[in-house]
Amino acid sequence: MTEEEARQWLQARFDVSRGTWERLESYVAILLREMEQQNLIAESTRAHIWARHIVDSAQLLPLAAKAGQGRWVDLGSGAGLPAIVVAILHERPIQLVESRRKRIDFLNDVIAELGLSHAQVFGSRVETVPASAAAIISARAYAPLPRLLESAHHLADEKTIWVLPKGRNAQNELEAATRSWQGAFHVERSVTDADSAIIVAEAVRSVRRKARG
């Protein structure tokens, strides 16, 4: 997907308003500016930022479209991908979980600069987030699927939709996870890279906990 194709995809899929475009463009500019201070995105993706990062994040929204009311929780938010893009495109409350101090400060600055009042940062490890039942959980480059589910299962219930970009290792990670976890899992192809995939899951539960019960 080229940069022009990425912009066309966004407009076609979300009918992006002028104000939303301005926020997206501001976020891209902030990311590129901050790259002088810390390594937020791979240098090799700088010239393809709209396809590799903005659309790659935005494509999660349609996959979670049937989620009920409630909060979107993004694990290991880092540079704000996908969370900031989601917050720009949608008004659902979203919590960004990030443990690194420089990234926490960066995310808070971005939220303030873009006026994303429905987004908030939880500055600690995922395991310390108070238990809840998120409507949606996302994670991009956070952890292998088995460890991801183990660290975040207290944030979900049977209605939670998990949308988890996993690149080219999606099927291998899914096979490893299903030894300990059950649920309705399926793999969606990425719109930005035919070789990459996104794991989408519902009704996720631990096989070990069920056995002990």
Domains of the chain in start order, with CATH, are 3-206 (3.40.50.150)
Q: pTM of the entire structure?
A: 0.92
- 140 annotated among ligand-binding-site residues: yes
Residue type, 203: A
Q: How confident is the model at residue 133 (pLDDT cuts 50, 70, 90)?
A: very high
- 126 annotated among ligand-binding-site residues: yes
Region 159-164 average pLDDT = 97
Region 185-200 average pLDDT = 91
- 76 annotated among ligand-binding-site residues: yes
What pLDDT score does 157 carry? 95
Q: How confident is the model at residue 37 (pLDDT cuts 50, 70, 90)?
A: confident
Strands (E), the chain: 72-75, 94-97, 119-122, 136-139, 161-167, 181-189, 197-206
What are the tokens at 164? 């988890």
- Strand partners of residue 165: 198
Q: How confident is the model at residue 209 (pLDDT cuts 50, 70, 90)?
A: low
In degrees and rounded to multiples of 5, residue 166 shows phi and psi of -130, 15
State the alpha helices, DSSP H only, in 35-178. Answer: 49, 56-58, 60-63, 83-89, 101-114, 145-152, 170-177
More confident position, 209 or 204: 204
In degrees and rounded to multiples of 5, residue 132 shows phi and psi of -160, -175
- 147 annotated among ligand-binding-site residues: no
- 89 annotated among ligand-binding-site residues: no
